[in-house]
Structure 1
Amino acid sequence: MTVSLSRQLQGYRLTTAKILYHLPDHPSLLQTFVWQNFDLAPRFPELNRFLAFWQREIEGKLHSVSVASAELISPVELRFAQGVFSLH
């Protein structure tokens, strides 16, 4: 079992964060950074750890963070067929 599969079975989801931050040399300009990792919703401990690192170690001041999260392993959706067609 791969690490990502075992984490997904523990409830981790693929999480993507779009981080807007001010450029250190030009604070009026914003730059985008995209972060993606497996994380636990709704608390997002991995993302919070990364953002704490950013504020502590990186000069660019954070402007905003947008988060999207999706389960990659979920129950299968079954639907009954509306008809049966035969081709000869």
Structure 2
Amino acid sequence: MDSAFMRQMEGYGLTTAQIFYRLPDQPSLLQQFIWQQYDLAPDFPELAHFLDFWNSRIDGPLHSVRIAHKRLIKPAEFRAVNGVVTLH
């Protein structure tokens, strides 16, 4: 079974982070990096781990992070129907 599907069954949803950071040699310029992974809202442990890695190992200091999150697998919508229509 696909590991991405299993994570979705555990409650993970697709998370996209738009990360703006300053260039080390030109601090007045911002660069953009897009990160996408399955993560748990609202704590986002995978994103927090990645940002910790960024702060410790990458020279470009973070400016801001924008997050979008969507659970792809969720309970089906159910609507009760009162009546039956028969077509020939």
**TM-score category, normalised to shorter length:** 0.7 to 0.9
Q: TM-score, normalised by structure 1?
A: 0.86
Paired AA for residue 23 in structure 2: L
Q: TM-score, normalised by structure 2?
A: 0.86
The whole-number CA distance in structure 1 between the counterparts of 2:30 and 2:13 is 28
After superposing on structure 2, the runs of 4+ consecutive aligned residues of structure 1 that deviate more than 2 Å are 75-80
The whole-number CA distance in structure 2 between the counterparts of 1:35 and 1:78 is 34
Helix, strand or coil at the partner of 2:27 = coil
Query: What do you get for the CA RMSD once the two structures are aligned?
Result: 1.5
Instruction: Please give the residue correspondences for 1:30-49 in structure 2 after superposition, counting only pairs within 5 Å.
Output: 30-49=30-49
Paired AA for residue 58 in structure 1: I
The answer to whether 1:4 aligns with 2:4 is yes
1:78 deviation in Å?
5.3
Q: Residue 17 of structure 1 corresponds to which residue in structure 2?
A: 17
The whole-number CA distance in structure 1 between the counterparts of 2:41 and 2:74 is 15
* Structure 2 residue runs without a partner (length 5+): none
The answer to whether 1:54 aligns with 2:54 is yes
The whole-number CA distance in structure 2 between the counterparts of 1:12 and 1:76 is 17
The whole-number CA distance in structure 1 between the counterparts of 2:42 and 2:77 is 24
The whole-number CA distance in structure 1 between the counterparts of 2:74 and 2:50 is 27
* Structure 1 residue runs without a partner (length 5+): none
Q: Deviations over 1:61-84 (max 9, x none)?
A: 00000001001112233567xxx8
Percent identity for Structure 1 against Structure 2: 57
Q: How many residues align?
A: 82
